[in-house]
């Protein structure tokens, strides 16, 4: 194998020498003819001026400077970033985030040959740009009244801020697409739009007014009142429904064709922005555009369905003290989040048919603690989209349809969880499920002493970690975008 590679490299060098003598005509790949189409289609959405990547890859010069890195990162499968594993269902947008074997070898050959530019006239591609919303309907632009200067409390590097936006809807409408425009791309790490309807709209308005109309700090979620007794609330854990999400380099703004998320008359849109302050801070006024169609249009309404598993992460072996006690962890949540929210860990055990006996105290070094929950979806549902959510101790998440049966199918598997690259994925082919089908969410966490989250440049001490709102608490959550019927 080595020998063949060496021969190939020698051949490539030889070819470049020949090309130099022949005055440009090359049989090997050139930037303009062979490499630009790949970088333009699969890298430029982030690697362009004003994009979220640290450098551009839109010219022959850019590409040559970064040639070695390009080969290293693409070979390792680290670029373009695509979190779902190959065993996930076919997801929309996947193909622009994966390189084919022939694209990989083109990049490798071109680099080995010294990154020749070739003939500019051969360029047939242009770098992809951010796309606008399209299709029938009207676009409304929502922005906070004032710019906000993010700041991390306690010397951390993250700020989560919730802004209340008002689409001023007098009638119900469908959102068929959402285009989120972060103002400072260097600092905005993700954006989630939630619908706050009814009592949650009132609460959001009040919370906003209590913070001088500037929104509030909202790690984990918008922190609107939870009514666990309301219809379907236990399946959503009181979280408001998602309208749309944006992460760096997010490619799909439109919901799947023929679908929409219903936005109720009078509802507010709560925009959660995660600011990452590693490099800079400054005033930000990120905006969201929604493409709206009247609710009378014949569209399939998508709803968020949450499937959550209990999170019971005992301390690793050798760590003791009150913080390693579950009762203490529960009391801490009562103090931080109130008695109703603190009830969620117990509710999840019950909902998933589990007891604490399913979560033994002895977790060894705590590096691999798993949990799961199986839930029926209900008759006549069609799954259109899927997302996973954990916090900083999350390692791996899998969402499976009909686990342990002949029909078993992985919807989403994220083998190396990264809190900073979260997205909602839509299935290329929606899946219709029946009353007997179940969905399993399964998460793996690392609660070892060495891998505790770092807050304000200090690594936290290990503790018994329960499901909770804070980023340093945990969640194991699958979000399904489903339609009834």
Residues that bind ligand HEC (CB under 6 A): 42-43, 45-47, 52-54, 66, 69-70, 73-74, 79-81, 99, 248-249
Shortest distance, position 147 Cβ to ligand HEC, whole Å: 24
Nearer of residues 248 and 462 to ligand HEC, judged by Cβ: 248
| Chain residue at closest Cβ approach to ligand HEC | 249
Tokens of 339: 């008695």
Nearer of residues 28 and 80 to ligand HEC, judged by Cβ: 80
Shortest distance, position 243 Cβ to ligand HEC, whole Å: 21
Shortest distance, position 421 Cβ to ligand HEC, whole Å: 8
Rg (CA), the chain: 25
Shortest distance, position 246 Cβ to ligand HEC, whole Å: 11
Shortest distance, position 25 Cβ to ligand HEC, whole Å: 26
CA nearest neighbour of 414 among 291, 247, 275, 277: 247
For residues 55 and 19, what is the distance between their CA atoms, to the nearest angstrom? 29
Shortest distance, position 30 Cβ to ligand HEC, whole Å: 17
Nearer of residues 70 and 466 to ligand HEC, judged by Cβ: 70
Cis ω before 174 (30° cut-off from 0): no
Nearer of residues 96 and 228 to ligand HEC, judged by Cβ: 96
Unique residue bearing structure tokens 């309301």: 230
Nearer of residues 348 and 392 to ligand HEC, judged by Cβ: 392
Nearer of residues 124 and 168 to ligand HEC, judged by Cβ: 124
Nearer of residues 109 and 371 to ligand HEC, judged by Cβ: 109
For residues 448 and 363, what is the distance between their CA atoms, to the nearest angstrom? 9
Nearer of residues 275 and 337 to ligand HEC, judged by Cβ: 275
Distances (CA, A) of 10 to 5, 16, 67, 114: 9, 10, 18, 12
For residues 438 and 374, what is the distance between their CA atoms, to the nearest angstrom? 6
Nearer of residues 80 and 310 to ligand HEC, judged by Cβ: 80
Shortest distance, position 240 Cβ to ligand HEC, whole Å: 27
Shortest distance, position 456 Cβ to ligand HEC, whole Å: 22
Nearer of residues 98 and 264 to ligand HEC, judged by Cβ: 98
CA nearest neighbour of 222 among 298, 165, 139, 286: 165
Shortest distance, position 249 Cβ to ligand HEC, whole Å: 2
Q: What angle do CA 375, 376, 377 make, to 5 degrees?
A: 115
Shortest distance, position 26 Cβ to ligand HEC, whole Å: 21
Shortest distance, position 288 Cβ to ligand HEC, whole Å: 19
Distances (CA, A) of 361 to 308, 326, 351: 21, 10, 21
Shortest distance, position 149 Cβ to ligand HEC, whole Å: 23
Contact indicator for 406, 340 with CB cutoff of 8 Å: no
For residues 469 and 117, what is the distance between their CA atoms, to the nearest angstrom? 52
Count of Cβ atoms closer than 10 Å to residue 426 Cβ: 20
Length of the chain as a residue count: 485
Nearer of residues 47 and 161 to ligand HEC, judged by Cβ: 47
Contact indicator for 401, 407 with CB cutoff of 8 Å: yes
Nearer of residues 74 and 372 to ligand HEC, judged by Cβ: 74
CA nearest neighbour of 191 among 380, 440, 461, 422: 422
Tokens of 164: 């209340």
Q: Looking at beta carbons, which pairs linking 352-355 to residues 24 or more positions away fall under 8 Å?
A: 352/309, 352/310, 354/310
Q: From the centroid of its chain, how far is CA 206?
A: 29
Contact indicator for 100, 46 with CB cutoff of 8 Å: no
Residue 255 buriedness (CB in 10 A; 0-12 / 13-18 / 19+): buried
Residue 184 buriedness (CB in 10 A; 0-12 / 13-18 / 19+): middle
Cis ω before 349 (30° cut-off from 0): no
């Amino acid at each position: 194998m080595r020998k063949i590679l060496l021969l190939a490299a020698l051949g490539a060098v030889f070819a470049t020498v020949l090309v130099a003598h022949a005055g440009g005509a090359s049989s090997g790949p050139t930037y303009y003819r062979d490499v630009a189409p790949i970088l333009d289609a699969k890298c430029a959405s982030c690697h362009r001026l004003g994009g979220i990547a640290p450098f551009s890859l839109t010219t022959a010069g850019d590409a040559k400077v970064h040639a070695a890195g390009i080969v290293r990162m693409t070979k390792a499968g680290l670029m373009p970033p695509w979190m779902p594993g190959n065993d996930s269902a076919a997801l929309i947008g996947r193909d622009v985030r994966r390189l084919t074997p022939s694209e990989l070898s083109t990049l490798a050959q071109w680099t080995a040959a010294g990154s020749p530019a070739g003939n500019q006239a051969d360029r047939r591609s242009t770098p992809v740009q951010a796309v606008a919303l399209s299709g029938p309907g009207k676009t409304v632009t929502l922005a906070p009244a004032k710019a906000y200067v993010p700041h991390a409390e306690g010397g951390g590097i993250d700020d989560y801020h919730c802004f209340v936006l008002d689409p001023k809807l007098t009638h119900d409408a469908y959102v068929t697409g959402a285009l989120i425009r972060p103002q400072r791309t260097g600092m905005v790490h993700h954006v989630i739009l939630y619908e706050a309807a009814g009592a949650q709209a009132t609460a959001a308005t009040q919370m906003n007014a209590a913070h001088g109309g500037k929104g509030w700090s909202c790690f984990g979620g918008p922190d609107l009142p939870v009514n666990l007794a309301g219809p379907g609330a236990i399946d959503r854990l009181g979280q408001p429904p998602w309208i749309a999400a944006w992460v760096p380099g997010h490619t799909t703004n439109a919901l799947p064709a023929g679908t929409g998320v219903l936005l109720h008359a009078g509802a507010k849109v709560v925009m959660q922005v995660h600011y990452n302050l590693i490099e800079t801070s400054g005033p930000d006024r990120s905006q969201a555009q929604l493409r709206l169609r009247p609710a009378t249009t014949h569209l399939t309404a998508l709803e968020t369905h949450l499937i959550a598993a209990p999170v019971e992460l005992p301390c690793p072996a050798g760590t003791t003290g009150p913080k390693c006690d579950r009762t203490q962890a529960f009391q801490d949540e009562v103090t931080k989040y109130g008695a109703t929210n603190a009830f969620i860990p117990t509710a999840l055990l019950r909902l998933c048919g589990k007891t604490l006996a399913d979560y033994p105290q002895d977790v060894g070094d705590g590096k691999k603690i798993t949990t799961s929950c199986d839930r029926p979806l209900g008759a006549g549902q069609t799954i259109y989209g899927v997302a996973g959510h954990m916090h900083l101790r999350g390692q791996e998440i899998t969402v499976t349809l009909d686990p342990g049966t002949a029909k078993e199918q992985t919807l989403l598997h994220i083998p190396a969880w990264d809190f900073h690259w979260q997205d909602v994925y839509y299935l290329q082919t929606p899946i219709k499920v029946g009353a007997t089908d179940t969905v399993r969410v399964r998460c793996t966490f690392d609660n070892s002493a060495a891998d505790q989250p770092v807050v304000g440049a200090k690594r936290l001490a290990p503790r018994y970690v329960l499901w909770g709102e804070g980023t340093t608490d945990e969640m194991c959550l699958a979000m399904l975008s489903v339609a009834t019927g």
